A = this chain, B = another copy of it.
Amino acid sequence: MNVDISLASGRTAGRPREFDIDEALDKAITVFSERGYHGTSIADLRDAMGLTAGSLYKAFKDKHAIFLASFDRYKQVRNMLLDEELAKAENGRDGVYRMLAFYAEGAHGDGGRRGCLAVGTAVELAIFDDEAARRVERSMDRFETTFEALIRRGQEDGSVNRSVEPNATARLLLSVVQGLRVLGKTSPNREQTFSVVDVAMTLLD
């Protein structure tokens, strides 16, 4: 029994995995977003990910672990895209708009119907699944903090009214964004979605 942990080299002994974990998780994200955790069976995941159940259970401990890995992957990708978008912001107000528009873009059309994995997890799992709840909370906190920082930045660069209360307004914007995800499940109309963004922006005047 050789308990030697192979450092440096990415590979250890044994037959190499024939699929890419992140690519597989991207498929899982779609399924979990559409059907939810309890609505998704291992057979659904197997089909969508193009794997056998056996391979799934060699890569992940159980269904719950697949879900958490999917959630983490989802957040990682979305946060990266958002950061890229925010890097383009000219000032605080523009940053708030870019952030609202980023989510509005995801909340309408087919993506809106598919839904947001974070919102789905909050609604379906937050009460009974502590690990899921912690992840959702961290995700929400991050958004709220980002909104608040952009508002403060805007107040310094003159693009946001000084009388705006940064924390409460950030939390309202967070609510709006989550709400758009809910509305996007049944009425994912593009211009209605963006009209909400426009009204929200008037809070910064």
Within 8 A of B (CB), among A168-205: 168-169, 171-172, 174-183, 185-187, 192, 195-196, 198-200, 202-203
**Cβ B196 vs Cβ A127 within 8 A:** no
Contacts of A169 in B (CB 8 A): 199
Report 23 cross-chain contacts, Cβ distance below 8 Å, ordered by A residue: A37-B39, A38-B39, A114-B127, A119-B123, A120-B124, A123-B124, A133-B185, A137-B186, A140-B183, A168-B195, A171-B199, A172-B176, A172-B196, A172-B199, A174-B179, A175-B176, A175-B183, A176-B179, A178-B179, A178-B183, A179-B180, A179-B182, A202-B203
**Cβ A175 vs Cβ B186 within 8 A:** no
Query: Which single residue of chain B is at the shortest CB-CB distance from A118?
Result: B182
Contacts of A137 in B (CB 8 A): 186-187
Query: Which single residue of chain B is at the shortest CB-CB distance from A107?
Result: B175
Copies of this chain, complex-wide, total: 2
**Cβ B34 vs Cβ A185 within 8 A:** no
**Any chain B CB within 8 A of the CB of A115?**
yes
- Give the secondary structure class of A's interface: helix
**Any chain B CB within 8 A of the CB of A89?**
no
**Any chain B CB within 8 A of the CB of A152?**
no
**Cβ B128 vs Cβ A35 within 8 A:** yes
- Among B167, B182, B187, B203, the residue within 8 A (CB) of A119 is B182
**Any chain B CB within 8 A of the CB of A126?**
yes
A176-B172, A182-B119, A183-B175 are contacts. A127–B140 as well, Cβ < 8 Å? no
- Among B168, B179, B199, the residue within 8 A (CB) of A199 is B168
A36-B36, A38-B36, A127-B114 are contacts. A195–B171 as well, Cβ < 8 Å? yes
